[in-house]
Amino acid sequence: MHNLPQSLAGIEQVLTVRFLGVIFQSSLSFAAHVDYILKVCSQRIFLLKQLRAQGMPLEQLHTVFQAIILQRLAYALPAWGPFLKVDLKHKIDGFLKRSYRYGFTKEIFHIQTIIDSVTYDLFNKVKASNHCLYHLLPPQRPLHDALSQRT
């Protein structure tokens, strides 16, 4: 356990904080956040079960799955996803595999693929000069042909 600095007068020191829907822990682990997300997603699986029981085809179930499960997993993922430990990734992947096995989606999703995709998309958006985070990027260096010519 890390030694936390002395608290400031009038400011309470906490071990977890929820900020913009993401649960941050003082240990820089996202276990509490992953547990919370999987709990919410499990509750949403109940809705998918009801839709399937009423005869909704797999194509539409897949669309609803992407809307209410994958989008919940992807919310703010560039902020916390790259910091997930392997055991938490396996936990999320297990949930996604069960969702496929139970017939709520047409394909097995993997959290690392989702992390890579949303992070890549965010970076491409930030590279636009009118983006509010563009000024945080280092200046673009010109590409030089640093390799010598083959003989």
Is 140 domain-assigned?
no
Is 107 domain-assigned?
yes
Got the DSSP string for 86-124?
Answer: HHHHHHHHHHHHHHHHTTS-SS---HHHHHHHHHHHHHH
Is 68 domain-assigned?
yes
**Structural domains counted in the chain:** 1
Task: Please compute the mean of the pLDDT values over residues 3-7 and round it to a whole number.
Answer: 67
pTM score of the predicted model: 0.78
Angle formed by the axes of helices 86-101 and 31-53, nearest 10°: 0
pLDDT at position 60, please?
A: 94
Q: What digits encode the pLDDT tens for the residues 63-96?
A: 999 999 999 999 999 989 998 999 999 999 999 9
Is 56 domain-assigned?
yes
Is 69 domain-assigned?
yes
For the ranges 4-13, 51-60, 71-80, which has the lowest average pLDDT?
A: 4-13
Q: Are 130 and 138 in contact (CB under 8 A)?
A: no
Is 51 domain-assigned?
yes
Q: Domain residues for 113?
A: 33-134
